[in-house]
Amino acid sequence: MEPERGRSRLVAGLQPVREAIRVHGERLSRVLIDDRALPRLDALARFAVDRGVGRVERVSRRELDRQSEGAQHQGVLAFAPPLGLVSAEELLADPGLLGVALDGIQDPQNFGAVIRSAVGIAGAAVIWGEHSSAPLSTATFRASAGAIEHARLCRVKSLVGALTGARDAGVQVVGLEARADRQLGALDLTGPTVLVIGSEGEGMARAVRRACSALAQLLPMTHLDSLNASVASGIALYEAIRQRSR
């Protein structure tokens, strides 16, 4: 697992910061907490100290606003180490691989919500092209509600290339499409599988669709294009886990 390149990562919001503290502890460079005497903030400050965070600072709301880069911070910010990214090769080496690949998801809130679904429902990997979906950002971290600290994240240069490589390596690459002639539940999802989700309205790009080994619709009469990516991923992952738990 390689760390994401760049400076320390800004995490904003109570739950995201709590999970960053839980996972990284003393590796956090500092945690800033609103200096108002509120039970939830006092409890978070104690938790940060207990987890070994070296610098836990109580600061004014104005200072938090200044440091937050416009993010909704709920009175707390953390400066975390870069996220660890998993390579496509590492994912392909996993015989139980279950992943969600995102094509053209530009909304960081939607991106973060997909990560939350992937971790919470299935512990699934999340794969995206570095130029075809939204970048990781403070808004993404917050929308994941802290789940990103536990996620298997794989950013690839070419989503088409990564999916083609996975398909050629024996991974079932299933594109979710409203006009597909079969339902997702008709496929065997118990083997290595990547579920591909396109953007709202546009769906998957043509080249991404060609890289899939199968196309499937989520549910009969479902207009997939009208579902946001997090809802679609949640339904699809639930079906995969249902099959794998039988």
**Any idea where the domains of the chain sit in the sequence?**
9-80, 84-244
| C-alpha–C-alpha distance, residues 28 and 243, integer Å | 39
Contact 169, 92 (CB under 8 A): yes
For residue 246, what pLDDT is reported?
Answer: 82
Sequence-distant (≥ 6) Cβ neighbours of residue 118 within 8 angstroms: 100, 124, 125, 126, 147, 151, 233, 237
For residue 94, what pLDDT is reported?
Answer: 96
- Looking at the chain, the whole-number percentage of residues with pLDDT higher than 90 is 80
Band of the pLDDT at 3, cuts 50, 70, 90?
A: very low
pLDDT over 90 (residue 201): no
Quick count: other Cβ atoms within 10 Å of Cβ 118?
30
For residue 217, what pLDDT is reported?
Answer: 92
Tens of pLDDT, residue by residue over 33-57, are 999 999 999 999 999 999 999 999 9
Segment 85-99 shows an average pLDDT of 96
Domains 9-80 and 84-244 share a fold: no
H/E segment holding residue 172: strand 172-176
For residue 4, what pLDDT is reported?
Answer: 54
> What superfamily does domain 84-244 belong to in CATH?
SPOUT methyltransferase, trefoil knot domain (3.40.1280.10)
For residue 74, what pLDDT is reported?
Answer: 96
User: What are the distances in angstroms from CA 94 to CA 87, 196, 239?
Assistant: 12, 18, 20
Concatenating the DSSP letter of every residue in 70-116 gives T---TTEEEEEPPPEE--HHHHHT-TT-EEEEEES---HHHHHHHHH
CATH assignment of 9-80, given 3.40.50.720, 3.30.70.260, 3.30.1330.30, 3.30.110.30? 3.30.1330.30
| C-alpha–C-alpha distance, residues 244 and 239, integer Å | 9
> Could you tell me the pTM of the whole model?
0.90
Strand-strand pairing, 30-34 and 76-80: antiparallel
Mean pLDDT for the chain? 92
Tens of pLDDT, residue by residue over 205-234, are 999 999 999 999 987 655 555 578 899 999
Helix, strand or coil for residue 47? helix
